[in-house]
Amino acid sequence: MTSETTRAPQVRPRTEGWTQRKDAAGRPLLQFASPRRGKPPAHLADLTPEQRVEKVTELGLPAFRAAQLEKHFFVHCTHDPAEMTDLPAAGRDELVHTLLPPLLTEVRRLETDRGDTVKFLWKLHDGALVESVLMRYPGRITLCVSSQAGCGMNCPFCATGQAGLTRNMSAAEIVAQVVRANRVIADGQLGDPRKVGHAGERVSNIVFMGMGEPLANYARVMQAVRVMTDKKHGMGMSARGITVSTVGLVPAIRKLSDEGIPVTFALSLHAPDDELRDEMIPVNSRWKVDEALDAAREYFEKTGRRVSIEYALIKDMNDHGWRADLLADKLNARGRGWVHVNPIPLNPTPGSVWTASEKPVQEEFVRRLEAHGIPTTIRDTRGKDIDGACGQLVATESDQQAAAATPVEA
Ligand code: SF4
């Protein structure tokens, strides 16, 4: 044991204020299958371009109506029949209601960073709540989207993981978050329009880092990505601007490598050793650190896209210098130039075991990675003052709804 290891205490992960659900063997419960609930309304964005044409033809309409609806929803960001004057008035409402039903009801909107960060809380058709966060940076606009209502991965530090998985989101519900965000931008509601707004601005980058484990909802996430990147029938975004992240569902990472869509892939690692990662990221009991890193390396080999490793820096939990060395060794053992590490200082919560690493510790962690030749960038965390971490807003809202629903005895 090094003297440094003895100096820096080892804090063990644990839940605070909630009890982690366990399986029959006493391990944290992992939910991969979505509980059966009423399906979200069928929507144009759930269909392939061919299926959209079939659908309008079934409704007795010419095929080009499908392209008109695509343009209204994906480009003009509307599902309001009154704005679709190129569609015949007779039957327009019915057509739009059938193919572009409203999917997201805005429950709350919180702004920070002088309006450059906007967090949305959406209600889905069945009352499930999800969040997305819109962030303006110099030269780009990023939207952090949710892919599931809740999450079945049960990570002990995560507000979303506490309640388990409510259900998978449909592809259209995922896409609708982008459409709504683009509408907000077009209406001049992101940042100060006198300084930054100009016509034609849209979301340029998407990160699948909101609620849910994207690769546990694989088919719908991929359909959403296809819609986002389709230049003719979708939103025409660059695949490189879309980041799909995972806590390490190895078979799904392999599948993603074979899709032929060059999205940016991010592995939320948070610990380089199985002893700690088993406790921090329960899915590590299925697929170990080395398996997840091997799959990440394969992603690079097959796509040529450099992989991001996300690493939340948590005081005395995973921020030890030896862990930076171990992480670098494991990455370098798989080659050079294939990976980039993003340490993310956790939002500080005084008194919690889940709190931010001290600044000098963060700097030392980065210094060690860089000394081993690993490109490293500390990622900035937006929206700290608006329940920035995923799931916090939903947790707050659910508490309020529960309180409102609780009968008060006279
Ligand atoms: S950290 Fe991510 S994978 Fe883990 S419970 Fe939260 S949303 Fe799910």
pLDDT of residue 157: 87
Going along the chain from its start, the domains and CATH numbers come out as 44-99 (1.10.150.530), 103-403 (3.20.20.70)
Please give the number of the atom of ligand 1 that sits closest to the Cα of 160: 6
Cross-strand bridge partners of residue 150: 165
Give catalytic status of residue 310 as yes or no.
Answer: no
Say yes or no: CB of residue 161 within 6 Å of ligand 1.
yes
How high is the mean pLDDT of the chain?
A: 90
List, in order, residues 6 or more apart from 168 with CB less than 8 Å away.
34, 147, 148, 149, 212, 216, 217, 220
Say yes or no: CB of residue 247 within 6 Å of ligand 1.
yes
Q: How many A from CA of 391 to the centre of ligand 1?
A: 9
Q: What pLDDT, in 10s, does the model give residues 175-208?
A: 999 999 999 999 999 987 555 556 689 999 999 9
Tell me, yes or no, if the pTM score tops 0.95: no
pLDDT of residue 404: 46
Q: Above 60 in pLDDT, residue 3?
A: no
Say yes or no: CB of residue 158 within 6 Å of ligand 1.
yes
Say yes or no: CB of residue 213 within 6 Å of ligand 1.
yes
Q: Whose Cα sits closest to atom 5 in ligand 1? A: 161
Residues of the chain with pLDDT > 90, as a percent, come to 80
Mean pLDDT of 335-364: 92
Q: Whose Cα sits closest to atom 4 in ligand 1? A: 155
Residues of the chain with pLDDT > 70, as a percent, come to 89
Q: What pLDDT, in 10s, does the model give residues 217-242?
A: 999 999 999 999 999 999 999 999 99
Per mean pLDDT, which range of 57-61, 289-293, 391-395 is the poorest? 391-395
Alpha helices in 107-169 (DSSP H): 159-162
Please give the number of the atom of ligand 1 that sits closest to the Cα of 210: 7
Q: How far apart are CA 290 and CA 298, in angstroms?
A: 12
pLDDT of residue 401: 52
Length of the chain in residues, anyone?
A: 410
Give catalytic status of residue 390 as yes or no.
Answer: yes
Q: What pLDDT, in 10s, does the model give residues 88-143?
A: 999 999 999 999 999 999 999 999 888 999 999 999 999 999 999 999 988 899 99
pLDDT of residue 8: 85
Q: Please list, residue by residue across 365-392, b when 16 or more beta carbons sit within 10 angstroms of its beta carbon and e when fewer do.
A: bbebbeeeebebebeeebbeebbbbbbb
